[in-house]
Structure 1
């Protein structure tokens, strides 16, 4: 996996190229952990990530993804987006997409499915 980290003041963008799974989770966490303390916003650019398994949920919602940094996701392709939506549908309190995808309203504000 190739991981590119870009810093711009208090904002960092981490762009992995390849699948997000349990083999690639440690280097992705290491990339986030290596960010300087002045970084308050972390954006995961997943535009070059075609597949993500449950390790992606651990990355985005697990330890280290808490309130210390505002974390968002961009460039979601079909399968990673499907995984996030499925997880949020199953347990919206744990998998709060409004935090990761600020343009998506919280579930309680979305119209009910017909």
Structure 2
């Protein structure tokens, strides 16, 4: 796992390269926990993350961020990580609310109209 963190004012971006599983979860959480206290927006860039297991759900839905009011979003989801998030949201939308994490994805249960 290769992790790059960039901070610009109150926004941080953590770019993870490699698979997310329980072996790579601790360094990812450590990267989030090490963010300065002024960070209020954290973006996980998963462009180079081809696989994510349930550890990714722990990372994204139980974040170890710099403060209690830190907004977390994710970008660059490949097919398998996106499938995992959508499946988790379908199984338990109350726990896995994607509306904040993936602001560009429609709310679960809302499907586009067929043309």
Note whether the superposition's TM-score is higher than 0.5: yes
Q: 4+ residue runs of structure 1 moved beyond 4 angstroms?
A: none
Q: 1:82, 1:113 → 2: CA distance?
A: 21
Indicate whether 1:34 and 2:54 are aligned: no
**Gapped regions of structure 2 (runs ≥ 5):** none
Indicate whether 1:24 and 2:24 are aligned: yes
1:30-109 aligned at under 5 Å gives the runs 30-64=30-64, 67-107=68-108
Q: 2:111, 2:29 → 1: CA distance?
A: 35
Q: SS at 1:46's partner residue?
A: strand
Change (3 A) 1:18 1:112: same
| Paired positions, count | 113
- Tell me the C-alpha RMSD between the 2 structures: 2.0
Q: SS at 1:31's partner residue?
A: helix
Report the TM-score when normalising by structure 2: 0.90
- Residue 62 of structure 1, CA deviation: 1.5
Q: 2:63, 2:4 → 1: CA distance?
A: 21
Q: 1:68, 1:24 → 2: CA distance?
A: 25
Change (3 A) 1:113 1:29: farther
**Gapped regions of structure 1 (runs ≥ 5):** none
Q: 2:15, 2:112 → 1: CA distance?
A: 34
